[in-house]
């Protein structure tokens, strides 16, 4: 099953309650996740109507809700939307609404379709979600609206990669510009262009072999990976041999972009 496909997310939703990374690690300061949150916060305000694309179980949408006029989040996974709606009620957040919807091209006769009326939003955000929504963003954006998206990049192979059990190893792409190359044509279809682009590359540290295993098996079915007990000795030796004072390091790479709709 292709990672991060709709089918993959649907399977993941049966294995954990919400979309989150189920491992414990420490990401160094100056990372893309922190930059994304800070950039979105800079564009919030009491008059802002916010769209959160691929909102998952709504954690960030609900975090931003007190700082804006309204929030609308949608996701293709119905159980995530149910969780978001229940969380909104539990937190007594009344300016947030959620919908289960597939805005992809195959689900909409070959044309991306965000489930909203024209000129509905002042700020459109997407954290680690799909790219297709960008093609319909201008239709639902108001003049002067801002688009912000965070894109994860592949993890380069560290020096100890070959010491991992083969089923836990990974491959990486060779094109360092793939993310921007994928976004710019989609923006161009709506007459938009990149306003700002940032790339982040900081270490992420694992201190326990169990957490390294959780990272390498994320989203995979039990039959696709060896049980932890089988690989634990190899992982423990790897962590002990290659860790620094902070832990075993991998690279945490993200791209962050912003576009602005003409006023």
What pLDDT digit, counting tens, does each position of 130-150 carry? Answer: 999 999 999 999 999 999 999
Give the E-state strand segments of the chain in sequence order. 26-27, 49-53, 70-75, 96-100, 121-127, 141-152, 194-206, 248-260
Indicate whether 184 pLDDT > 90.
Answer: yes
* Domain covering 6-157+171-203+252-260: architecture: 3-Layer(aba) Sandwich (3.40)
pLDDT in tens, 18-70: 999 999 999 999 999 999 999 999 999 999 999 999 999 999 999 999 999 99
Q: Which of these ranges, 157-161, 174-178, 194-198, has the smallest mean pLDDT?
A: 174-178
pLDDT at 190 over 90: no
How far is residue 27's CA from residue 127's CA, in Å, rounded to a whole number?
Answer: 17
The percentage of the chain sitting over the pLDDT mark of 70, rounded to a whole number, equals 100
3-state secondary structure of 93: coil
pLDDT, position 174 = 78
Quote the pTM value. Answer: 0.96
Q: What is the pLDDT of residue 219?
A: 94
pLDDT digits (tens, 9 = 90+) for 197-253: 999 999 999 999 999 999 999 999 999 999 999 999 999 999 999 999 999 999 999
d(CA 112, CA 114): 7
pLDDT at 62: 98
pLDDT over 90 (residue 1): no
Confidence bin at 3 (pLDDT 50/70/90): confident
Picking from 249, 253, 108, 262, the residue whose alpha carbon sits closest to that of residue 192 is 262
Task: Give the pLDDT confidence score for residue 2 in this predicted structure.
Answer: 84
For the chain, the average pLDDT equals 96
Render pLDDT for 60-116 as a digit per residue (tens, 0 to 9). Answer: 999 999 999 999 999 999 999 999 999 999 999 999 999 999 999 999 999 999 999
| Number of residues in the chain | 263
């Amino acid at each position: 099953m292709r990672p991060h496909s709709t089918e993959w997310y649907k399977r993941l939703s049966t294995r954990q309650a919400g979309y989150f990374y189920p491992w414990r690690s420490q990401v160094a300061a100056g990372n893309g996740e922190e930059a994304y949150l800070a950039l979105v916060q800079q564009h919030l305000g009491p008059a802002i109507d916010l769209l959160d694309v691929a909102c998952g179980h709504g954690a960030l949408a609900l975090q931003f809700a007190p700082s804006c006029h309204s929030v609308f989040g949608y996701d293709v996974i119905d159980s995530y939307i149910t969780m978001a709606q229940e969380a909104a009620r539990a937190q007594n957040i009344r300016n947030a609404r959620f919908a289960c919807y597939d805005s992809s091209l195959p689900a909409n006769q070959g044309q991306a379709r965000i489930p909203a009326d024209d000129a509905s939003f002042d700020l459109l955000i997407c954290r680690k979600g799909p790219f297709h929504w960008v093609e319909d963003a201008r239709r639902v954006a108001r003049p002067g609206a801002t688009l912000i998206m965070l894109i994860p990049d592949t993890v380069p192979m560290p020096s100890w990669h070959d010491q991992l059990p083969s089923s836990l190893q990974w491959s990486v792409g060779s094109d360092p510009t793939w993310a921007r190359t994928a976004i710019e044509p989609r923006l161009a279809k709506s007459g938009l262009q990149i306003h700002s682009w940032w790339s982040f590359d900081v270490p992420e540290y694992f201190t326990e072999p169990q957490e390294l295993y959780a990272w390498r098996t994320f989203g995979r079915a039990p039959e696709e990976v060896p049980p932890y007990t089988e690989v634990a000795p190899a992982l423990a030796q790897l962590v002990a041999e290659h860790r620094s004072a902070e832990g075993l390091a991998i690279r945490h790479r993200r791209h962050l972009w912003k576009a602005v709709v003409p006023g």
